[in-house]
Structure 1
Amino acid sequence: MHSWNDHAPIYQQLADQLAAQLLDGDPHEGEAMPSVRALASRYVINPLTVSRALQALVDGGLLESRRGMGMYVRGGARERLLRSERDQFLQDEWPRLRAKLRRLGLSANDLNWEDA
């Protein structure tokens, strides 16, 4: 079971999680998303909340609704998402992270990019 927080509406948290999965290529462009029912069961949330999350991804140009067939990942969705995530990181997260590294006295030589 997934644990939700109070920082954003649940539908937005789900949309963010599904977008992260799309960024990882799951599902691939052109492939169907799991059904509303399947997602509601997986995340133990109301199907209306799932529908709202999927609609947010449609509004963001990542998914398309095919009448009677469900939601599908749009072509180019991963690249659009990657560009958007990179821009957000560089504008919002990187300046804070860089400032924290400076406060801690850490430099690029102290960071190991290979360990995960």
Structure 2
Amino acid sequence: MRFDYEDSTPLYLQVANQIEESILTEAFKENEQIPSTTEISKTFNMNPATVLKGMNLLVDKQLIEKKRGRGMFVTAGAREKVQAERKINFFQEKIQPVIREAQQLNVSKSELLLLIERGYQRGEN
């Protein structure tokens, strides 16, 4: 995990985002324990309340769960939930603006699909 103390994104959101990213990349697997609030706060010199606030966001999203006396664990299906949420965000933040721009430029759907296919081919090289 890496945190940017100069970033305008609040640290608790960075904590949540970093753990979520670790779930997506399977650095933290389903049913696996994640580092404790204390471990993260000591390792990164952060207020434990800040770390806990970030973790609680993930508890609310049902990506991690508290097991009394044992710690925090990644829930079953957490990776799929992260992927689903990110696909929705990807569509809203990236694809919809491309479609709007294409429509303004009178790029047809088939032309746009050809451009996307060309981009995929170039990306594979």
TM-score, normalised to structure 2's length?
Answer: 0.76
Aligned residues of 2:3 and 2:11 also touching (Cα < 8 A): no
Instruction: Select the structure that is richer in helix.
Output: 2
Aligned AA (2:3): H
Q: Which residue of structure 2 aligns with residue 113 of structure 1? A: 123
For the pair shown, the structure with the greater C-alpha radius of gyration is: 2
What CA distance in whole angstroms lies between the structure 2 residues aligned with 1:82 and 1:110? Answer: 22
Aligned to 1:48: 49
What is the alpha-carbon root mean square deviation over aligned residues?
2.4
Q: 1:77 deviation in Å?
A: 0.6
TM-score by length of 1: 0.81
Mark the runs of 5 or more structure 2 residues left unpaired by the alignment: 106-114
Deviations along 1:72-111, one digit per CA (max 9) or x if unpaired, are: 00000111111111111111223345649x99xxx43256
How many residues are aligned here?
A: 111
Gapped runs of 5+ residues in structure 1?
Answer: none
- List 4+ stretches of structure 1 deviating above 6 A: none
* Distance of 1:72 and 1:97 partners within structure 2: 38
